[in-house]
Structure formats: structure tokens, C-alpha cells
Structure 1
Amino acid sequence: MIMQALSDPQFLAMVLAGIAAVATVFTVAMPLIANDNLDKRMKAVAVERDRIRARERERLTRQNRGSLRSRPAERIRQFVEQFKLSDWLGTETAKMQLMQAGFRGQKSEYTFLVFRLVLPISFTLIAGAYLYFIDDFELSLIIQLGIVIFAAYIGIKAPEIFLRNAMQKRQLSIRRAWPDALDLLLICAESGTSMEQAFRRVSTEIGRASIALAEELALTTAELSYLPERRQAYEHLAERTGLESVKAVSTALIQAERYGTPIGQALRVLAQESRDQRMNEAEKKAAALPPKLTVPMILFFLPVLFAVIMTPALIQVFDWQ
């Protein structure tokens, strides 16, 4: 039945027409149902900019009392403070990674701490309940205990793995768009535009290439306007991204701010270095392809190739016998 249907021209025409119709509908509907992530992230940037503005204004008027903290969700805050999770689960590395992954504020930090506490307990209880009540797979008690401990370890490492992946994904997006952003920044600087206006303009133009970089540049624009020292804004940009190329540009901007050196030539050199670094990374990936393709070729290509070559010869041998 299947072979007859596949050999029927009318059936094949109907299948191909159905596939074409589905592909057409999917192509037309995708722009309508796609989320505009750029608008959402830029709105988040505007909210963050307003928060920085309010915080800096409050700090200037209340210098003796210090800056105010943003209040996160009340329940999460009370839970974290009650059990003092920041003392025995929080680390400076995790705080830095949260910032580099785009999760800012105490709310994100408190949520991360809660997940670091809840996930190991949940994974341990789920693994133990499954082995005890549902199916123990006829395993010994020591092996079951090892499975429960491994589940607890997965629960401990899961938030860190998620955070590390989010940070690396964000850094990759910034790294790819950074040379283009430097070119735009160089054009603005050589045209006589101030750094605040240059960062604001570049953050608007680079959004289509990298939402993360547009967000960071917009925050830098806000900090340049409201922080007491512009050097702090450049240092915060390097800390939030965690990239050496961004740190080099921040250092050049700080030196230009301090000593009055021209920034155009430095930006041109740094943009070329960033572009060369991006090209070198692409060449490294291309050079690493042959070793990676060796195993798939042995497992998938060579057996098919041998079958195509040897099958006619084997058929002739069997017919001759």
C-alpha cells in the first residue's frame, strides 16, 4: 500500500501541494505572530534608565543617608532575609554573572538564591519518592542513594549552568556587534558629537544587530548623564559585559577623559582589533571542523558509500553463483 501510494503521481502531487500550502501559511503568519523583542528590551532599558535617574537624584539630595535600594518582591525578600541565604548561598562571582547575564537588581539576586536553595531539595525529594514509591528498578540501596545524591548535585549546579549559559549567550551577542558599534561611535566622535549623544545614537542604531549591546549602551548613556564621574560609567560598562574588547575601549575613553587625548584614532584601532578578533574566531571554528566531522563521516557516510559501491558487485556475484 505504501509503495503504491508513493508511486502514484496524483498522491505525490497532493502531498507536495499540501506541504507548499503549509509552508506558505507559515511564512505569511510568522511576521504576525513573532514577538518584537527589541521593543520589549528597549522599554526595559527605559525603565532602568528612569530607575538610575531616580536613584542618583535621591542620592544627591540625601548624601548622608546613602542611596536607596530598589525593593524586590516582598515575599522573596522576606524569605531570603529570614533564612540569610545571601550569607551562605550568595557569592560575588554569582552577582557578577547575574549582572553580565542581564539580570539586574536585588530581585534577580534574591530569585537566584531561592532557586539555589529550592532546586536541590526538590530534585532530591523527587528522585527519592520515585525510587521508593514508583519503581526502584531492582537496584541496590547504595545505588539508589547514589542516584539521589546525583539528583541533589544536579539541583545545585542547575542554576549555575543556566546563569553561565545566559551570560555566554549575551556576551556572544555583544562580541559580534561590538566592532560595528565602535565604527558608529567613531563616526559620531569624529563629527563632533558628545559622548552622551554618541552612545545614545549608537544604542538606537545597533539594536537590530544586538539587543543586549543596545541595552548596555543605553544604560551607559544614563550613567554618563547622572553619575558624578564619567569614569564610573565606562567602568560599569566593562563590568556589565565582562569582555576584554569592551574593557579596552573603556580604558581608552577614561584616558581620553582624564588627559584630553584624541579618541578617534584609539577607537579606529580598537575597532580594527575587534574585527580581526572576530575573524580569528571564525577561522578557528572553520579549522576545527575537519576533526569534528571525522566521527560522523565514519559512522554515517562511509557505510552508505560502501553499500552503494559493494551492492552491485555482490548482486553480480550472487547471480553468477
Structure 2
Amino acid sequence: MGLDFSNLLSQQAMIAILTMVAIAGTLFSLVVPLLEGDKLKSRMKSVALEREQMRARERARLADDKANARVSLRNKPKKNMQRIVDRLNLKNLLSDNETKLRLIRAGYRGVRPLYTYLFARLLMPVILFLFALFYTFVVLQLDQPAMVKVFIACLAAFIGFYAPDLYLKNKIQKRQLSINRAWPDALDLMLICVESGMSIEVAFRRVSDEIGIQSIPLAEELTLTNAELSYLGDRRMAYENLANRTGLEGVKNVSLALIQAERYGTPISTALRVMADENRMQRMQAAEKKAAALPPKLTVPMIVFFLPVLLAVIIGPAIIQALATF
């Protein structure tokens, strides 16, 4: 009888639980639609708010563009510097289109950086020559013939002539390294934006806002590309300018893929997905290459610094005992 009573209680408990679940489901299906309200109205309201925010951001951007336009008028070189460079015709002697492209890749845009670069290549040899003469004749007072001291000063002037070029090369390498490290992440973000329904212009703007924390030069380049996509008549020129300004093979491949996607009408998301996978693979291969090159690089420091100390620790006590014994 006890067993039958327990079975009866278990059956009643199951019936009560199922009844409660059915009642809860009925109430949920009846009450939730009343609480949700009109989804269309709320979504349209959110869209209107987003449109107002975009309009406010666009007005702020236009105001910044006007301010930058006024500032760009001040980006002219100094009159004395410009007069000297133009009088000596240094633009034709020491610069060409490649020099202007290198300045852009280093992050220097406009006319003023070109004049500053040319004036520095003219002025640095003179400064280093005079400094070397003063240092060798007055400060050090070397016990050497005067021709040797003059030769040292000429060597310093030769270094000063190429010092701005070396500085520019170093600046380009640092900027390209920053862009190259952040470029795969930027491609992933761009792919997410395009697949979510954004246009390529909005994707560039969104990614430039997000990637600025990781790489400021890449954010600048994406912002310039977004502006060129909006104002240039041929969108292909905007992508080509992005590849030329960065000078990186990965950026060039992505630019070519975007140009082909717009020319032949293929989905941009497909091209971005392929290029994102390729850049991710290249980054992994570069990391593996650095890891594989680490043992040969550590061989010489280990031989020079670690091996003598290790031999001294191992053989030192035996040598001390042998000297004490004999």
C-alpha cells in the first residue's frame, strides 16, 4: 500500500507541474505581446535618432574640414626658407616625385615638409662641418695635422648631407610597421562592417575610429581614403592612393581586390574575406619565421657571454683544488 501511495503522489506531482507549465506558457504568450508594444514605431524612432546623430557628426566634420582648410593655408613654408630653396633650385637638384612620395609615406603632407627637407639637406652639412672643425681644433686639440682635422670635418659634413634622408627612412619604417601590425585587425573589422550591411565608405570611417587606438597612422590613411571615396570622381584612384601612401604589399593587394570587386560587380565582402584570411596567414608565417630565426641569432650571444661563465662555474672548482693540491 505504501508503494501505491508513493506512486500516486508522484503522479499528482507530475500533473501539477505540467499544469503550472501550461498556465505559465499561456500567460507568457498572452502578456508578452502586450508588453512589447509597437516594434515598428520603436525601430523607426531609433533610426531617426541615429540619423540625427549622423547629421550632427557630419556637421562637426564639415566644421573641422573648414578649420583644417584654414590651417592648411598656414602650412606654407617660411618665406626665407622658400626663397633660399627656390633660388638655389634645390627642388630640381635634390628632389623628384619619389621624394614627395617618401614624405607622404612618412606622414608629412603639403608643401612645407618638402621645403623643410630640402633646406635641412642644405643646412645640416654646413652645421656639422663647422661643429666638427670647432670640436677638433678647439675642444679636443688633436695632435694631428690640419688636413686630418679638415678631413674629419668633411666626413661630418658628408654624414650631415644624408642625415635628413636617414631620418626620413627611419620615419617611414616606423610608420609602415605600425600600419602593418594593425592592418589584419582592420581588415577583420572592415569585413564585419560590410557583412552587417554598411557601405564601404561607412566601413572605412567606422574602422578608422576603432583602429586609432592601435595605430594612428592607419586611422589617418583610412580617413583620407574615405574622403577620397566621397570626393574623387573615380573610386579606383582612392584605392590606388591608399596603396601608394602606405607602400605596403598587403595594403596594395587589398586595394587591387577592392578595385576588381567594384569593376566586375563581385561582392566586396567576399574579396575582404579572402584578403583577411590571406593577411592572417601572412602574419602567422611572419611570426613563425621570426621564431625559426631566433636560435641562430642566440648562438653568438650564448657563445660569447654564457659559455665562458658556464665553463668557469664547472671547471673553476677543479682548477682551485688542483692549485691547492700542487
Q: What TM-score do the two structures reach when normalised by structure 2?
A: 0.74
Please point out which of 146, 160, 163 is paired with 1:155. Answer: 160
| Matching residue's letter, 1:201 | R
CA RMSD of aligned residues (A): 2.4
| Matching residue's letter, 1:279 | M
1:100–1:242 Cα contact (<8 Å) kept: yes
Aligned residue pairs, count? 263
What's the secondary structure of 2:312's corresponding residue?
A: helix
| Matching residue's letter, 1:240 | R
1:240 is the counterpart of 2:240:
no
Between the aligned partners of 1:190 and 1:255, the Cα distance in structure 2 is: 18
- The residue number in structure 2 matching 1:230 is 235
Please point out which of 59, 65, 70 is paired with 1:50. Answer: 65
Between the aligned partners of 2:140 and 2:174, the Cα distance in structure 1 is: 39
Pairing 1:82-231 to 2, within 5 Å after superposition: 82-231=87-236
Most deviating of 104-113 and 228-237: 228-237
1:316 is the counterpart of 2:321:
yes
- 1:249 is displaced (CA, Å) by 1.1
What's the secondary structure of 1:293's corresponding residue?
A: helix
Give a deviation string over 1:71-126, Cα, whole Å, max 9, x none.
33444333322332212122322211111111111111111111111001111121
Give a deviation string over 1:34-84, Cα, whole Å, max 9, x none.
xxxxxxxxxxxx79x8279959xxxxxxxxxxxx99633444333322332
| Matching residue's letter, 1:84 | N
- 1:257 is displaced (CA, Å) by 2.1
Between the aligned partners of 1:223 and 1:160, the Cα distance in structure 2 is: 29
- Identity of matched residues, %: 57
1:207–1:213 Cα contact (<8 Å) kept: yes
Change (3 A) 1:288 1:139: farther
Pairing 1:227-306 to 2, within 5 Å after superposition: 227-306=232-311
Give a deviation string over 1:4-36, Cα, whole Å, max 9, x none.
xxxxxxxxxxxxxxxxxxxxxxxxxxxxxxxxx
2:125–2:161 Cα contact (<8 Å) kept: yes
Larger RCO: 1 or 2 (CA < 8 Å, sep 6+):
1
Structure exhibiting the larger radius of gyration computed from Cα positions: 2
Between the aligned partners of 2:315 and 2:288, the Cα distance in structure 1 is: 38
Between the aligned partners of 1:242 and 1:118, the Cα distance in structure 2 is: 29
Structure 1, unpaired ranges of 5+:
1-45, 56-67
Structure 2, unpaired ranges of 5+:
1-60
Change (3 A) 1:201 1:91: same
- The residue number in structure 2 matching 1:22 is none
Between the aligned partners of 1:85 and 1:303, the Cα distance in structure 2 is: 56
What's the secondary structure of 1:208's corresponding residue?
A: coil
Q: What TM-score do the two structures reach when normalised by structure 1?
A: 0.76
- The residue number in structure 2 matching 1:17 is none
Please point out which of 76, 84, 88 is paired with 1:71. Answer: 76
Change (3 A) 1:296 1:88: same
Most deviating of 196-205 and 85-94: 85-94
